[in-house]
Homo-oligomer: A and B are copies of this chain.
Amino acid sequence: MEFVGSVVTGVATLSQTMEDGRRQMVGLLLPSDFVGRPGREYAAFNVEATTDVTLCKFARKPFEKLLNDMPHLRERMLEMALDELDAAREWMLLLGRKTAREKIASLLMIIAKRQNTLKPIENVEELKFELSLTREAMADYLGLTLETVSRQINALKKDGVIELERKRHVFVKDITRLLNETGDDADGGYFE
């Protein structure tokens, strides 16, 4: 853990593994996300790139010094940490209480939302995006098996909620329809 930084392009994941190989992703690192933890020597989680990733990197020690000199930076860091905490807690609801289908729909919504930061998602009628995760990575993120992920994605496709092109390109004609599949309150979380 000699560096901290932030993702510029690409997708990386943050995960934990148990001794017997069970694996849970605990964070998705998309462009603009911060990587690493100031004030701690060791890395608590594994970071892995799933696509080629460009990082904007700082040596940790000088960065910590910078934090002391620039109160604004620490304020920003606190804000980011609290936002991540909220996101982690949303994810806890998903892992603990949602069905497989709701989990998939929620993940698609999150990726869709992150790839479309230009305008609020409720004003977008249709949406096309790239799924830069393998079925296995999605499974590890959602607490499912890759077979279940595959089956549920195809079920959503069969039901006309999404369309697929070459396995990794998703096309959503009606976002409200997908949102209804997430199990979330219509006005909570995704529309902000």
Contact = CB atoms under 8 A, between A and B. Distances in A.
Interface of A: 14, 16, 18-19, 22-24, 26-27, 37, 39-40, 44-45, 68, 71, 74-75, 77-79, 81-82, 84-86, 88-93, 95-98, 142-143, 183-185
Contacts of A97: 18, 22-24, 143
Given A77-B78, A96-B24, A44 B89 contact: yes
| Copies of the protein in its oligomer | 2
A22 B92 CA distance: 13
Given A16-B90, A45-B89, A74-B78, 14 more contacts: A16-B93, A18-B184, A19-B183, A23-B97, A26-B89, A26-B93, A27-B89, A40-B82, A71-B71, A74-B74, A81-B85, A84-B85, A85-B88, A95-B143
Contacts of A14: 89
A92 B93 contact: no
A88 B24 CA distance: 12
The 4 A-B pairs at the shortest CB distance, nearest first, are namely A96-B143, A95-B95, A88-B88, A26-B89
Contacts of A81: 78, 81-82, 85
30 contacts: A16-B90, A16-B92, A18-B97, A18-B183, A18-B184, A18-B185, A19-B183, A22-B98, A22-B183, A23-B97, A24-B92, A24-B93, A24-B96, A26-B89, A26-B92, A27-B89, A39-B78, A39-B82, A40-B82, A44-B89, A45-B89, A68-B71, A71-B74, A81-B81, A81-B82, A81-B85, A88-B89, A88-B92, A92-B92, A92-B95
